[in-house]
């Protein structure tokens, strides 16, 4: 498949490597030119502009962090919409807001182009190993066309229907559940520490008992126990970005989310204490501060 890839950050690099390794014709683009060097060495084409990344492509993937950035890349002058041919697919694989996905879908439809939203579930190590979860939504034939890409990027594709915003809703809901779990683990570790119990004991109880086989509890819980917050999978600053997207989606749908408010407050506290660039497991430290442990 002829694919363009825009956004070679921590997640994007692993995904793009998988696509290139899967035998697809890949063109990459990033505003930081040095991010593209390893792909040029591996045989991928390197575009000098967004327009060049779209030229002759069946699909272009965006893996960008901020909503404003993906809107500019897709809809700005010389962006994806201006550079695409009719019928080409914009495959939005980052975590974006519902309003942003609606805007992209409408703009591409007006230009006889297609938006497929396919946010991914997992951390950079899973991206590199091709073990991400992919939540895909959009016109059925377009989603089917993208399946060879999903196969090399992820371990499973979750079909979310024909409206791209459905995939966004699922990704944001998943992040809400994960954020609540991180907060709850931090609180639980603080409680046992107050009774002089080593956090490792609770970790073993959780991961070999009630939450056996749950990777979120194993991964984030181990980071909390070891306090290896500098080994970053998903940083606090990305967490607050996503928390704000969840809040906006809840506002559109008029859904109260009390757990989100607690998660967001812990994220803000961590940022205020200088931990914005740390892994989100650092919310355990923030909880510890709240109860006088740290």
**Which positions are catalytic?**
171
Cβ pair 226, 203 in contact under 8 A: no
Opening angle at CA 120, ends 115 and 122, nearest 5: 170
For residue 155, give the nearest of 128, 182, 187, 195 by alpha carbon: 128
SS3 state of residue 136? strand
- Per DSSP, the residues of 21-82 read HTT-EEEEE-SSGGGGHHHHHTT-EE-SSHHHHHTT-SEEEE--S-HHHHHHHHHSTTSHHH
Closest CA to 95 of 114, 136, 67, 132: 67
Q: What is the gyration radius of the CA atoms in the chain, in angstroms?
A: 20
Q: Given 3-state DSSP classes, what are the helix, strand and coil percentages for the chain, each rounded to the nearest 5?
A: 55, 15, 30
Which single residue is written with the structure tokens 């970790």? Answer: 203
Structure tokens given for 12: 């994007």
Give the Cα separation of 72 and 80 in Å (integer). 9
CB neighbours of residue 85 within 10 Å: 13
CA gap 217, 16 in Å, rounded: 28
């Amino acid at each position: 498949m002829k694919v363009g890839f825009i956004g070679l950050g921590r997640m994007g690099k692993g995904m793009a490597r998988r696509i290139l390794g899967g035998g697809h014709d890949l063109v990459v683009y990033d505003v930081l030119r040095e991010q593209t060097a390893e792909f040029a060495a591996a045989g991928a084409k390197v575009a000098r502009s967004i327009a060049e990344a779209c030229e002759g492509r069946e699909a272009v993937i965006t893996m960008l962090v901020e909503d404003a950035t993906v809107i500019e890349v897709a809809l700005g002058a010389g962006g994806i919409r201006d550079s695409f041919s009719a019928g080409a697919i914009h495959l939005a694989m980052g975590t974006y807001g519902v309003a942003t996905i609606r805007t992209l879908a409408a703009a591409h439809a007006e230009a006889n182009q297609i938006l497929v939203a396919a946010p991914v579930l997992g951390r950079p190590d899973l991206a590199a190993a091709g073990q991400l979860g992919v939540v895909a939504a959009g016109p059925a034939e377009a989603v089917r066309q993208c399946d060879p890409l999903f196969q090399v990027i992820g371990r499973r594709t979750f079909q979310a229907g024909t409206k791209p915003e459905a995939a966004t809703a699922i990704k944001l809901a998943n992040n809400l559940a994960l954020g609540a779990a991180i907060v709850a683990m931090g609180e639980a570790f603080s409680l046992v520490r107050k009774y002089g119990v080593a956090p490792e004991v609770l970790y073993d109880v959780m991961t070999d008992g009630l939450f056996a086989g749950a990777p979120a509890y194993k991964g984030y819980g181990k980071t909390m126990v070891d306090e290896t917050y500098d080994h970053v999978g998903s940083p606090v600053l990305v967490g607050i970005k996503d928390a704000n997207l969840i809040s906006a989606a809840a506002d559109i749908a008029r859904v109260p989310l009390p757990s989100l408010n607690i998660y967001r407050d812990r994220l803000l506290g961590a940022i205020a204490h200088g931990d914005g660039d740390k892994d989100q497991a650092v919310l355990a430290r923030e909880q510890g501060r709240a109860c006088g442990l740290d």
